[in-house]
Amino acid sequence: MAETPFVAVLTGDLIKSSQLSPDELETVRAQISEAFAELATWDSPTSPVVAGEVDFFRGDSWQAALEQARFALRAVLFLRAHLISQGLSDTRTAIGLGAVDHLDRELISRSSGEAFLLSGHALDKLSPKVNLTAAIARERDGQLHHWLPVVCQLCDSILNRWSRRQAEMMTLALHPADLTHEEISRQLGTSRQNVTATLDSAQGSVLEQVVQVFEKTFPNP
């Protein structure tokens, strides 16, 4: 397997999974897989976004790796928007940004390296009141290891207030193709004015600015 020098690893577990029936749990897992299949369509011809497929373990936990680390925050926001829009269980997620020693695209959980350790440890330490965090090695990027968790927590506080309709529109607004409100309205069969009002109430423009800064901070390798 080829090594990837810098990746984003996303590790998560489902919120209140003990309240889900086996069928409901399977449905949520299928929706997570569907979201990552959509993320894979963001690929450029020479640089895939997702490494392999999302991997599930321990029943309610999952892990995925992004070969384009810059998309990490956008991807997590998209995933959670997708789940919220379906009225399904939400997920706690930790982003680990760093190097890999071994990237197993057939079974991501068999991979190893800095990014995997950072992601796993960050999820283990995540407060029960917070559903999103990120970690990067201190020696790699100065003060970013202080700022990233705070930025993620602020994003999380916005997502926690979304309605299903807001989340549905945000799944389209978060697409890197930068769809216009007119294009979103055509896809959802509603008016442009309704899209604008709904995205404004979801703090869509604020989140897009945060995502863009994140992507400039971690450009393509």
- Enumerate residues 6+ apart whose C-beta is below 8 A from 105: 1, 51, 52
Matching residue, tokens 């894979």: 40
Helix, strand, coil: what percent of the chain each, to 5?
A: 50, 15, 35
**Per-residue confidence in pLDDT tens, the chain, 221 aa:** 444 478 999 999 999 888 899 999 999 999 999 999 999 999 776 678 999 899 999 889 999 999 999 999 999 999 999 999 999 889 999 999 999 998 888 889 889 999 999 999 999 999 999 999 999 987 666 778 889 999 999 999 999 999 999 999 999 999 999 999 999 999 999 999 999 999 999 999 999 999 999 999 987 65
